[in-house]
A and B are shown apart, each in its own frame.
Chain A
């Protein structure tokens, strides 16, 4: 059991984000009832921010364009931090969707030069639908929200945009597509992990939807990217046609 005196001494580590998750929770509970600690923590956080200012660099011009382009597509939180109604669930989903829209927008702006407007609204809708249908949504959410989640976007032809999000820590990837033409009758889109040119099945997409978020089945396990092929209904054990889309995972 950590004593009170010991907790007082954590203000420095707290201000430097140098506590473990468990200690952070314990310390924050302590802070709530300790006025002098709150004051000291605020002062030391402000001191740490000065270390940050001292590290200032000149950002690349492209970064400015991308961020300014993307903010217009990201909804702001309500003041007070609580959306009306069911607070907890709804607001964490809003946060996830915003984070998702942002990642998708930044990836698209970087990959597509900002000339094509990312159809973030449709991607958000796809994710909302996935939530409602409860199809691996917890896992999709976990991948999108993973601190190491990396995103890559690409035009897929026919006006469709695809975005792959990969978390190596979770060993999982999510593929989000918007505006994809429905496959012909009796056909289905199949996803594949690209293991250095060998395709490993990662599940089927829903043939009835043009916008969707899909959790790839199986672990990333060193795969270099993801591919999509058109296959007979039910899928194939290996691709029977050339890929309609092939995206490398971000490094």
Chain B
């Protein structure tokens, strides 16, 4: 039995997020307030998952949200939804931050990687976010154990695929493949279309 839950557009993006972003692109600060309210919790959630430090997560989330304001005139709806654009930016910034901090700290590598066990337990009051979490949790269970670990280490902990390979003691090529086939399986289960 197929577990796909097709919801077309993203459930957590308000129906008018694209419209709000197009108004932000014209310098509309009220529309930006709407964008903020729709995505700030997700942007902060991504930063917190990767950085695991409240102060740094808030800093990165704020930078991302203001960058949304700044670069909204360049947003191209034909390339994907607004929420994808914003969360991709958030993940990129969080990953950049965690990598630069790690490079500076030069900690014991393997220990640092293994200590990063992804958790999935943050609290939110938004109903649609809880539904989203349930769907993702259910679909992650359709992945093999290695796929699931590889994808969650890369996304929620910001590991590169070579760090993933190191943490899970996989050959590099296998790590690449597991990230790809894991995401493909997740895509099909979640019914993601572009």
Q: B-contacting residues of A (Cβ < 8 Å)?
A: 6, 9-13, 15-20, 39, 42-60, 63-64, 66-68, 70-72, 74-81, 98-99, 102-103, 106, 146-148, 150, 168-169, 251
Contacts and interface: CB of A to CB of B under 8 A. Distances in A.
Interface of B: 10-12, 25, 27, 29, 32-33, 36-37, 40-42, 44-46, 48-49, 55, 58-59, 61-63, 65-67, 69-74, 79-81, 83-84, 87-88, 90-92, 95-97, 99-101, 103-104, 120, 122-126, 129, 132-133, 135-137, 151-152, 154-156, 158-162, 164, 173, 175-184, 186-187, 190, 192-194
Given A57-B122, A67-B66, A18 B42 contact: no
B97 A81 contact: no
Contacts of B63: 99, 102-103, 106
Chain A contact residues: helix, strand, loop or mixed = helix
A106 B59 contact: yes
A209 B44 CA distance: 39
B74 A81 contact: yes
Chain B contact residues: helix, strand, loop or mixed = helix
A42 B84 CA distance: 9
Contacts, number: 232
A248 to B, nearest CB: 14
A72 B28 CA distance: 10
21 contacts: A10-B180, A11-B183, A12-B181, A16-B155, A17-B91, A18-B179, A43-B194, A44-B184, A46-B194, A48-B91, A51-B151, A53-B136, A57-B45, A64-B37, A70-B62, A71-B32, A75-B70, A76-B72, A102-B70, A147-B100, A169-B104
A52 B184 contact: no
Contacts of A51: 136, 151-152, 155-156, 186
